[in-house]
Amino acid sequence: MKTKVYILFLCFAHFVFSQKEVDTIPQLDLYKIALINQTDSYITFPTDIGNIERLMFEANINPSFIIRERNDSKLMAVLTPQIIIRMYNEESYPVRTPSYIPQVTFYYLAHKKEALNNLVLFGKIAHHSNGQDGNFYNENHTINLQSGNFATNFFELGLLKTAYSKRLKAIKTIKSSLEIHPKSWILEELQGSYSGLRWHNSFTSFKFPLKDVKNQRAKFSLKAEATLMLDNYNDLDVFDLDRFNASLTFYYHPKFLQDIGLFVQFYHGMDYYNIYFENQLSIIRFGIMTEILRF
């Protein structure tokens, strides 16, 4: 009898303390899940390691404008006027052909089993251009990187799954989506050389300081992303490595910084900077990034 009582006591204690641990971490709503999916705003330091051209910095300006009826709405939209800028470490420090990627993303909370266990469906419509109107090719048939016109439109459909890892004491998210560039939405010169069907997958983990309940923030986070180009372009073989993009980003928010943190990122794959898409990059970069989540 005493053994049964002892076992029941241990089970009860485990439940109470486990529940207390979950109750002390920030809770996820649709707004916070959407922020996890949005691209981070950052500025890199002039210390890139790899085969990218020498830069003073690369900046991603990506504010999010939320459109929703109420805080607890299951449906919401995020409007983002994303701009990526590279300043080159050359004479007069030029900024060449920025990437303009305005977009609107719709999120729907399809299932909420627990406070941190959510399934969200999303759809995005976006435009990507470089603001130039020159000829796509130079006279020697190379791509005109200085003033060549680059433009495409696309939509993306996917899902986000969130959960809480007791072992890691961290919130984790998994994303999978398809990005589609219809043939009539893409510049004629890009057809056949620019992938119009991409499969994105990512994993994100946020580590929280559970001891400080009043000032919860993601002190550490890790983001792994992978993209596979599925369509036939550039006559690439099915298993050609040029079809594969991958990145790993580690983020740290030190106590002495209020609104930004430090990050290091490894990236391998196609250059995402508009008309530079034919370049293949393998780089390690360092910089500062806005806090991904606020609680």
Domain of 218, CATH number, reads: 2.40.230.10
Structure tokens at 120: 């969200």
Is 2 among the domain residues?
Answer: no
* pLDDT of 20 strictly over 50: no
State phi, psi for 189 to the nearest 5 degrees: -65, -20
Residue-wise pLDDT tens digits, 184-230: 999 999 999 999 999 999 999 887 654 544 455 667 889 999 999 99
Domain that holds residue 73: 27-290
pLDDT reported for residue 121: 97
Is 21 among the domain residues?
Answer: no
Is 20 among the domain residues?
Answer: no
pLDDT reported for residue 264: 96
Is 5 among the domain residues?
Answer: no
The answer to whether the beta carbons of residues 245 and 268 sit under 8 Å apart is: yes
Is 205 among the domain residues?
Answer: yes
Q: What is the CA radius of gyration of the chain?
A: 22
pLDDT reported for residue 8: 47
Residue keyed to tokens 């580690």: 250
Is 11 among the domain residues?
Answer: no
pLDDT reported for residue 185: 96
Residue-wise pLDDT tens digits, 86-131: 999 999 999 989 999 999 999 999 988 766 789 999 999 999 999 9
Q: What is the mean pLDDT of residues 159-168?
A: 86
Q: In total, how many domains does the chain have?
A: 1
Structure tokens at 232: 């036939």
Is 58 among the domain residues?
Answer: yes
Q: Which residues contact 124 (CB under 8 A, 6 or more apart)?
A: 103, 104, 105, 106, 155, 156, 157
* pLDDT of 295 strictly over 50: no
pLDDT reported for residue 13: 39
Categorize the per-residue pLDDT at 239 as very low, low, confident or very high, splitting at 50, 70 and 90.
confident
Residue type, 164: Y
Is 17 among the domain residues?
Answer: no
Q: What is the mean pLDDT of residues 69-95?
A: 93
